[in-house]
Chains A and B, each alone.
Chain A
Amino acid sequence: MVEYVSTTTGLFPLPDWAKEELTDLKGHQKADMVSGDETEEIEAVYDRARAEILSTQRAAGVDLLVEGQYRWDDMVTHVLSVNESVETTGIARYYDNNNFYRKPIVTDDLEPSGDVADELEAAAAFADGALQAVLPGPYSLAQLADDDHYGDDGEFLAALADCLAGEAEAFPDVEALTLLEPSLGVTDPDEPDRVREALETVSDAVDAPVVVYTYWGALEVDLYATVLDADVDAVGFDLVTAEESARSLVSEHGTPDSVALGVVDGQNTRVESAEEIRATVDEFVDAAGDLETVYVTANTGLFYLPTNRFEAKLEALGRATEPEVASV
């Protein structure tokens, strides 16, 4: 019997009141962005927003809650922006999006900062439900950051993986850890085995199931086969931008016991109905065969959306895994 779990990939849009309060408190220049030393006043705004969004997710019927990643001004590279061995420099384009992040440059030995663990501790206090941790995957971090210290691509990737593992070890109990790996779908790695080792390094650091979530394209065949060999619990597929390629990978190479299916478009305001979401999921599951857990999720982070549509999408996701929505 397949278990369906509604969740998200995190990176939520701030509620409008917090956009305003934080712009006033922080400013909107490069130097004003989160670097891990916010004032108590700023922390208080994030605490309120976090409490609010946990309750919104619960009310929407989402099964596996996230902290929201509101402090991640630089999106997935946040974990480096708050690290003491990293300098953030100019503004760079974030993948093929009209969004920008501060390019991180690693200048010294990376040590975990505990920043994400602190966020999860704060969330656990309000969560009152199953909590999922979100981290970037090591390969995406290596693609988005510059190395000014290790001097070797393989060493750099391994150091990022060790650092992420250190962050994950400090986590409170969570029900799952999702590693966001958009770069795996965007830029095929030269040495897939190193990527597999890096993923395993992070995965070994936690007891909870680990989902490697890839998006903006499907993986190349060889890379997919390598990721399947990795000791991770679930692989994620972006069924919004790459449904066909994802299905052909699965029909040829199968899946792990569990999968995450990105079926809600994180970058478009059109709100999918619960029935539509469920039909896409069921079609995939029927073709894939035996599965244990299916995480039903958005294909990307959700910060691209205005808050009204973001909340509507949460509700659709929450309903999609209810028994009465199961397709006939």
Chain B
Amino acid sequence: MTGPREQFRPDDHPNEHFLLTTVVGSYPKPKWHDRARELFEDPDGDLDRGAWEKAKDDASRAIVDEHERAGIDAVTDGEMRRTEMVEYFADRIDGYERNGRVKVWGHNYFDKPSVYREVEYSDSWLVDEYEFTSDVATHPVKVPITGPYTLASWSFNEAYEDDAALAIALADLVNDEIQQLVDAGARYIQIDEAALATTPEDHAIVGECLERIVDGLPEDVYVGLHVCYGDYSRIYPEILEFPVDEFDLELNNGDYDQLEVFREPTFTKNLGFGAVDVHAAEAESVAEIKANIRRALEVVPPERLTISPDCGIKLLPREVAYAKLENMVQAAREIEAELDDGTVEATAPAPGAAD
């Protein structure tokens, strides 16, 4: 079972086996782009809105190109137009407002938004971003969207009975947005639920949200769920019931300790495998990444394996981010060739084998 994943295989793919390579979403912003933002936001700065919009377009072009040069199969624009994963969406959803920064720890703050009345969908959140990106990209484009549970958990909830009720209301809006994206041509959607696996029983809420999110989507839309930095034993195997094609998981940062969680019962979905660490400011070697991928093949067969970094890579120096992606793709291609000629074997149990 590979679902609609085969549509992302490039026509000129060099190997019989295909390990889909992708990114989680964010990428370091070019320094000139940050400088342009400062000038645009500074009341005394001399950069007008038109120039700022062009700067974002240029940054988006540059990063799509950088992903393609690294050989990534399903690309993003590195989220050049987005600020932060909750803020960006809160600013586009009716019912949200922002009151100011709150403490996370020490002098690290977060502009935590408030839901002050029922949330409603008005203008699209990401269709412009998708249309621009797919225009400038030659590879398929993936669209990451912050999931409703994370949006709810990282907001002040003034209007709903509890965070579950808010998450479910937001899930309906995410469904509206995905319908628009699909109409615009998007076929690879990734729901980012960074807050999943941090509190007990949260998988039940996320499961209900996902049912709403995928409601009415065409069969050929490939839906992934990205989860990071949680305790996966809290959500496995319950998440196998989720109506998604792929789980994209941060695993490298914990040195693959949590990979064990997915051995029993057999992992039956596609695995987006965190093959490089996003908190280590040195690119892993091709050999090291290949060793990581071989571990993934113990859990899922190659036709269900996607290779990506652990998480968004926006906090890395740009040249390190690029080197990681380039090595990651090379490692995937080499493993594919070795699978083709039989020097690497897939050892994952077949679905149902353990049942």
Contact = CB atoms under 8 A, between A and B. Distances in A.
Contacts of A304: 102-103
Contacts of A23: 107
Between A29, A269, A305, A306, the greatest number of chain B beta carbons within 10 A of the residue's beta carbon is seen for: A269
A22 interface: yes
Contact of A101 (B105, B112, B158, B199): B105
A269 B99 contact: yes
Contacts of A226: none
Contact of B106 (A30, A98, A270, A309): A30
Interface string B91-106: 0000000011111111
A307 B116 CA distance: 17
Contacts of B116: 269-270
Given A99-B103, A268-B157, A270-B156, A28 B108 contact: yes
B100 A306 contact: yes
Nearest to B200: A96
A100 interface: yes
Nearest to B100: A306
B111 to A, nearest CB: 8
Contact of A269 (B108, B114, B199): B114
Contacts of B100: 16, 306-308
Contacts of A96: 199
A33 interface: yes
Interface string A96-108: 1011110000000
Given A268-B157, A268-B158, A306 B99 contact: yes
A27 interface: yes
Nearest to A96: B199
A156 B107 CA distance: 30
B105 A22 contact: no
A259 B100 CA distance: 33
A306 B99 CA distance: 6
Contacts of A2: none
A9 to B, nearest CB: 16
Contacts of A13: 102-103
Contacts of A26: 107
A contacts with B: majority SS: loop
Contacts of B108: 28
A23 B102 CA distance: 13
Interface residues of A, number: 32
A253 interface: no
Interface in A83-101: 91, 94, 96, 98-101
A173 interface: no
Contacts of A267: 156
B104 A99 contact: yes
B267 interface: no
A73 B158 contact: no
A16 to B, nearest CB: 6
Contact of B158 (A22, A29, A94, A269): A269
28 contacts: A13-B102, A14-B103, A22-B107, A23-B107, A28-B106, A28-B107, A28-B108, A32-B107, A73-B105, A94-B105, A98-B104, A98-B153, A99-B103, A99-B104, A99-B105, A100-B105, A267-B156, A268-B157, A268-B158, A269-B158, A270-B158, A303-B103, A304-B102, A306-B99, A306-B112, A307-B100, A308-B100, A309-B99
Given A99-B104, A100-B105, A306-B102, 18 more contacts: A16-B101, A19-B109, A23-B107, A26-B107, A27-B107, A28-B106, A32-B106, A33-B107, A73-B106, A73-B107, A268-B156, A269-B114, A269-B158, A270-B114, A303-B102, A303-B103, A306-B112, A307-B100
